[in-house]
Amino acid sequence: MNFIQELHEARLTRNQNNVRTLTYTDCCERLYLSLMILELLRKFPKYSMAARAYAKNTTSDGLYRYYKISGTDLYNFIYFVNGDETAIGKLKDPGAAQRLRDKTSLPLMSLNSYLKSIANGQSILKPSEMFIKIESNLGITNSTYKEIRRSITNFDSIGTEGRKTAVTKLLFATRAKLRSSDLIDDLEKLASQKDLESGTVTDQEPTVSLPDITTDGKDLSLYRYLVGVENLMMTKRFLDQAKQGKSVSGNMVQGYMPAIKMLDDIVKAGPGYVQMLRALHNRAKKGR
């Protein structure tokens, strides 16, 4: 069975239909989660060999120029995040994905150095530096993921309960975002064998795909028809904060209020108008 799995390594990104469900933001987030799983696995002798083999397969082509069905899921996530127009064109919303890609710079040299160190079984003195760089460059704003990163990169010093909490939260994130990936089996086995899953941690992971929200250029200019020219800058700040999962101030809400009022009017007009809005939304998604 291991031989069969090696023949067809990628499971989450195994074909074009699977990939079409992913946004660019999804790929960034899943890339980051995959790296944290590898960082955890390499700390345990029984799973370090699996981590080494996975890292070696991932870096077999360190330039990530082609989509590979036989590559690891992590390889394909790197391909999409660091990809050209061909790569971006395979994702759920190529237009929005390209705008985010233009603003994203994956530190490929640091990432490859980290993966090759795992593949060769070498010690990694300060993995947190690489993770923080990846986190910043990919725009990872999820506070839970940052908390997991801090715990896993300091795993030996956080105590039993801290380890259980970190691994449990990573399991929740993996089950939600990497359910069919090629890394989940090893993580599940590790958590079970080492008794690292806690029953006291609440699962707060959303399972929906994260949209590639952009608020610049053409998109922002069209918002003026919804909120008015005078509210454009506050609308931009509202959307930026919302995308990052941050709280928004009252003046930002006021800037976006015309769009909220429009939606409220449609809802209060009755189910027929809501269905018309849903139909229009579907047409808009297909148009994109």
For 73-98, the pLDDT digits (tens) are 999 999 999 999 999 999 998 998 99
Query: If DSSP states are collapsed to H, E and C, what string results for the chain?
Result: CHHHHHHCCCCCCCCHHHHCCCCHHHHHHHHHHHHHHHHHHCCCHHHHHHHHHHHHHHCCCCCCCCCCCCCCHHHHHHHHHCCCHHHHCCCCCHHHHHHHHCCCCCCHHHHHHHHHHHHCCCCCCCHHHHHHHHHHHCCCCCHHHHHHHHHHHCHHHCHHHHHHHHHHHHHHHHHHHCCCCCCHHHHHHHHHHCCCCCCCCCCCCCCCCCCCCCCCHHHHHHHHHHHCHHHHHHHHHHHHHHHCCCCCCHHHHHHHHHHHHHHHHHHHHCHHHHHHHHHHHHHHHHHC
What is the percent of the chain with per-residue pLDDT over 90, rounded to a whole number?
A: 56
Domain boundaries, the chain: 2-193, 217-287
225: confidence class by pLDDT, cuts 50, 70, 90? confident
Half-sphere exposure for 78 (CA within 13 Å, toward CB):
29
pLDDT band at 118 (very low <50, low <70, confident <90, very high): very high
Q: Residue 221 has what pLDDT? A: 75
* Residue 4 banded pLDDT, cuts 50, 70, 90: very low
d(CA 142, CA 177) in angstroms, rounded, equals 13
Instruction: Report the pLDDT value the prediction gives residue 275, as an integer from 0 to 100.
Output: 87
**Token duo for residue 23:** 């946004």
Q: Has residue 16 got a pLDDT over 60?
A: yes
8 Å CB contact between 179 and 62: no
Residue 161 C-alpha from the chain's centroid: 26
Residue found under tokens 């002798």: 45
| pLDDT for 256 beyond 80 | yes
